[in-house]
Structure 1
Amino acid sequence: MKNRLPVENAGDADVCLFIEPYGEDFWMRPADAFQVVPMSDANVQFSVVIATGLITVWLYEDGDPYNAILDYEVVDANGERLTCGHQRPADS
């Protein structure tokens, strides 16, 4: 099984899950649970930065910040693949 990064919004407000280096956004409503799944079979490590209302994730091969993993998908709790802008608020 591939490395996966589970991410859950346990708060009471929407949170943006932001995946770099492409800057793709996936919005999580309260109680949403997503997974970031690299498409690579490499040894993938995740870098996560959290700010109010924002979770930024980088995927790296072998933890090397100069070797970013570019192919990934974000799936919901049912395993459904999400697209960039998922649940994006109209005012963002």
Structure 2
Amino acid sequence: MRNRLPVENGGQQLTSLFVEPYGEDFWMKPGEVFTVIASVDADVEIEFSVIVKPDHITVWMFHDEDPYNAVLDFTVVGKDGATLACGHQRPPDSAEASPDTGT
């Protein structure tokens, strides 16, 4: 089973990583790698959907490849394996709302 997705900021500036459906935001410095881990039972297949825009990455996860059954429980970890909190490295002047959902 594959329940984790490494995401790397290969750009030159701060990039937001939004994990849906809650729009939780994590901000990546250039060169940083975060891993999104779906918390699911061992027999569940996960499909990851990734949307990339300039300075913004959105990740969705779905149970058994069903686009109507989003994974709701997940963890985002940094390079050292430490769990990151929503808003990690968020710049003080950024909006907290997801640009994809407006929420």
Normalising by structure 1, what TM-score?
A: 0.96
Alignment of 1:1-92 (within 5 A): 2-41=2-41, 42-92=44-94
Rounded Cα–Cα distance in structure 2 between residues aligned with 1:2 and 1:70 = 16
User: Which runs of 4 or more aligned residues in structure 1 lie more than 2 Å from their structure 2 counterparts after TM superposition?
Assistant: none
Report if aligned partners of 2:46, 2:61 keep a CA contact under 8 Å in 1: yes
One-letter identity of the residue aligned with 2:87: G
Normalising by structure 2, what TM-score?
A: 0.86
Q: How many Å apart are 1:10 and its aligned residue?
A: 1.2
Q: CA offsets, 1:51-78, max 9 Å, x none?
A: 0110000000111111000000000011
Gaps of 5+ in 2: 95-103
Q: How many Å apart are 1:2 and its aligned residue?
A: 4.9
Aligned-residue CA RMSD (Å)? 1.0
Report if aligned partners of 2:3, 2:39 keep a CA contact under 8 Å in 1: no
Identity of aligned residues (%): 55
Residue-pair matches, total: 92
Rounded Cα–Cα distance in structure 2 between residues aligned with 1:2 and 1:39 = 11
Q: CA offsets, 1:32-63, max 9 Å, x none?
A: 10000001022111000000110000000111
Gaps of 5+ in 1: none
